[in-house]
């Protein structure tokens, strides 16, 4: 199933095969020499497209119109439709996709790779082709790239070039009015991997949808971090049969099965297939970030990075694009957390449970969020019954109704700033979905 583990027979001293032991041996790839940073010669059309794209990105930042993370790449692609393919030549690129954790894991991958050589990344979260071009053209001679990619765009990327490593984190319902059902996304990922047979895939063995997408690929490392949100993984994505408890080593009658783990996330770190345990000393909180860090570490080791230097750089990350950051709003320190679908709300609610902080929730339903907020009824807000919660955002009333049905004491406020300004001493937690979170980050930087 994978290229990193094999079932093997023990051979006696005289060469005769002994009985199968079931022992799993780990195949260690040959050491990878550090990449050299060399100038990359681009054709004239690509060079002009990159130069004008950089100029557009710079003007966007100077005029306060945005970070330039998309407009520069969009202009470059317009002038040179093959810009992504041309800019990827000679690099080892890691693509990171999945419903939740893409931005954080991508930053972890980029930092781990920088322990060996320069790496570029689309740190602003612009995760479609124009964002990839914008990231790659910032340092055309950087030998590494870590790129977050939207789940439905991975097939477009692998049609352009073959990444060195592809990370498949998880799949759950998100923005159904744009993305569609999970089976559609899983099938798209499967097609994307079929277009990249030479890439190495690092995939979540605990998510049946990810297993379906990656099971037939010739080179896979399987990560096990457990599945807390199970409502989107109850049925086999191949045939539709009921799987039961996905914490067990499930096997469907159609043949799809939970593969053996190469890396297993523990309460303090990660256990490798050879039995060695590595501590994960992270600045980012929660089990979910130990899972993200394990994916990043596996990618970095695959590309020749040293274990200790990679872990050290991952451990120093304190926030990713504002996530988990402590910022000032209304003259107060607050901690910002992002939750955009039932699976990520589960993780963030678990993170704030029992800490006693004032809690503010903010939900919008704009285009980038998805207009449908019926998913609020799938979130286990009942865990907040002992907390007093304030709610804000475009859909504050919908959220308040859901919390009332969950038995949570709730107050609707006109804005997060109003709630924060009236809070007692301490650092409140603010959990917001995508556009609500983005707006708070922007206002905190003024």
* Catalytic machinery residues: 372
Q: Is the CB of residue 113 less than 8 Å from the CB of residue 167?
A: no
Q: How far apart are CA 15 and CA 115, in angstroms?
A: 43
The DSSP annotation for 154-221 comes to HHHHHHH---SEEEE-------TTTT--HHHHHHHHHHHHHT-TTSEEEEETT-HHHHHHHTT-SSEE
Give the DSSP letter of residue 374. Answer: G
Least Cα distance to 329 among 356, 353, 360 occurs for: 360
Beta bridge partners of 332: 329
Asked if residue 305 belongs to a known ligand binding site, the reply is no
Residue with tokens 């089976």: 183
Q: Is 252 annotated as a binding residue?
A: yes
Distance set, CA 217 to CA 129, 166, 222, 259, 293 (Å)? 24, 11, 12, 13, 23
Structural contact between residues 94 and 167, judged by C-beta atoms closer than 8 angstroms: yes
Are the beta carbons of 441 and 337 closer than 8 angstroms?
no
Nearest to 338 by CA among 354, 320, 353, 356: 320
DSSP state of 30: P
Output the CA–CA distances (angstroms, integers) from residue 78 to 68, 85, 130, 324, in the order listed: 15, 14, 9, 36
| Residues facing residue 391 across a β-bridge | 361, 412
The Cα-based distances of 382 to 338, 376, 412 in angstroms read: 19, 12, 18
Cα gap 1→217, rounded to integer Å: 8
Binding positions are: 236, 239, 252, 254
Binding positions for Zn(2+) are: 236, 239, 252, 254
């Amino acid at each position: 199933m994978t290229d990193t583990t094999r079932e093997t027979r023990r051979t006696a001293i005289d060469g005769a095969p002994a009985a199968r032991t079931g022992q799993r041996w780990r195949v260690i790839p040959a050491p990878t020499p550090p990449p050299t940073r060399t100038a990359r010669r681009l054709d004239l059309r690509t060079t002009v497209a990159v130069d004008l794209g950089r100029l557009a990105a710079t003007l966007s930042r100077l005029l306060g119109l945005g970070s330039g993370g998309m407009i520069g790449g969009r202009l470059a692609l317009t002038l040179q439709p093959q810009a992504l393919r041309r800019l990827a030549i000679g690099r080892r690129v890691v693509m990171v996709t999945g419903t939740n954790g893409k931005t954080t894991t991508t930053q972890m991958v980029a930092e781990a790779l920088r322990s060996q050589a320069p790496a570029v990344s689309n740190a602003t979260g612009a995760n479609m082709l124009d964002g990839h071009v914008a990231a790659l053209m910032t340092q055309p001679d950087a030998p590494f790239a870590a790129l977050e990619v939207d789940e439905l765009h991975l097939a477009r990327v692998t049609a352009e070039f073959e990444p060195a490593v592809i990370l498949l984190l998880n799949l759950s319902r998100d923005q159904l009015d744009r993305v569609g059902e999970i089976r559609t996304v899983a099938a798209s990922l499967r097609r994307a991997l079929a277009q990249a047979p030479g890439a190495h895939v690092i995939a979540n063995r605990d998510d049946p949808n990810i297993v379906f997408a990656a099971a037939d690929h010739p080179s896979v490392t399987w990560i096990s971090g457990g599945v807390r949100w199970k409502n989107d993984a109850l049925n086999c994505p191949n045939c539709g049969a009921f799987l039961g408890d996905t914490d067990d080593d499930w096997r469907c009658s159609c043949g799809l099965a939970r593969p053996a783990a190469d890396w297993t996330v523990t309460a303090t770190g990660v256990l490798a297939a050879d039995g060695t345990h590595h501590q994960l000393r992270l600045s980012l909180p929660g089990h979910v970030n130990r899972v993200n860090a394990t994916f990043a570490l596996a990618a970095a080791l695959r590309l020749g990075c040293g274990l200790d230097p990679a872990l050290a750089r991952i451990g120093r990350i304190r926030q990713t694009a504002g996530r988990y950051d402590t910022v000032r709003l209304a003259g107060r320190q607050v901690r910002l957390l992002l939750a955009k679908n039932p699976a990520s709300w589960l993780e963030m609610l678990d993170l704030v449970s029992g800490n006693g902080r004032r809690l503010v929730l903010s939900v919008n339903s704009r285009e980038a969020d998805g207009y449908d907020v019926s998913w609020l009824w799938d979130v286990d807000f009942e865990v907040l019954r002992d907390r007093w919660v304030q709610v804000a955002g475009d859909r504050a009333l919908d959220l308040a109704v859901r919390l009332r049905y969950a038995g949570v004491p709730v107050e609707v406020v006109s804005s997060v700033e109003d709630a924060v300004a009236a809070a007692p001493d301490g650092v409140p937690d603010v959990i917001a979905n995508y556009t609500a979170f983005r707006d708070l980050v922007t206002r905190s930087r003024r």
